[in-house]
Amino acid sequence: MLTLALVQEPHAAAGPLTVEGGLMVWTVIVFLILLAVLRRFAWPAILGAVEAREAALEAQLAEAARDRVEAAALLEEHRKLVADAKTQAHAIVSDARAVAEKERALAAERTKADQEESLARVRREIAAERDRAVAELRREAVDLSLAAASKLIGERLGGETDRRLVEDYLATLESRA
């Protein structure tokens, strides 16, 4: 009965959990053939592509590292240039301030010298005018004195000796005062 049941059972429907020996052998053979074909043709191409991709990534990483080092060097150089530029700008501003201060001092000195020169010139002009006025007053005084004396004496005094005599007298009056 058991054998009969086994013989009759193969015609029965197979379920997903039933194991069939012939199908299993053919599945293993097809898998091994597929594995051999893949190993022979696909693996080298796949491994080559993977190795090429890995090499490209390593090259990109190395280039990125070089770029990072170069960028750091450029940044440091830029910082030095900025510091130098600030130092130079500060020096230029300091020099400009010093020059402006010197120019201001020179201008003030020139102005003071010009004022002193103008004051001296004005004083000289005043002294010259005063001397001219005094000389004019002396002449007028001599003329008036001679006119008055001539009226008193009754004669006209106007000679050079008379004029000198009056001027000398006026000079002695001036020296006493």
Q: Which residues contact 142 (CB under 8 A, 6 or more apart)?
A: 163, 166, 167, 170
Residue 159, pLDDT score: 73
Q: Kindly tell me if the per-residue pLDDT of 174 is higher than 90.
A: no
Please tell me the number of Cα atoms within 13 Å of 60 on its side-chain side.
6
Total residues belonging to the chain? 177
Domain boundary assignment for the chain = 43-176
pTM of the model: 0.40
Q: Kindly tell me if the per-residue pLDDT of 152 is higher than 70.
A: no
3-class DSSP state of 19: coil
Q: 65 vs 15, which has greater pLDDT?
A: 65
Confidence of residue 134 (pLDDT cuts 50, 70, 90): confident
Rounded mean pLDDT, 149-175: 72
Helical segments of the chain, H only = 2-8, 21-37, 43-153, 160-176
Confidence of residue 177 (pLDDT cuts 50, 70, 90): low
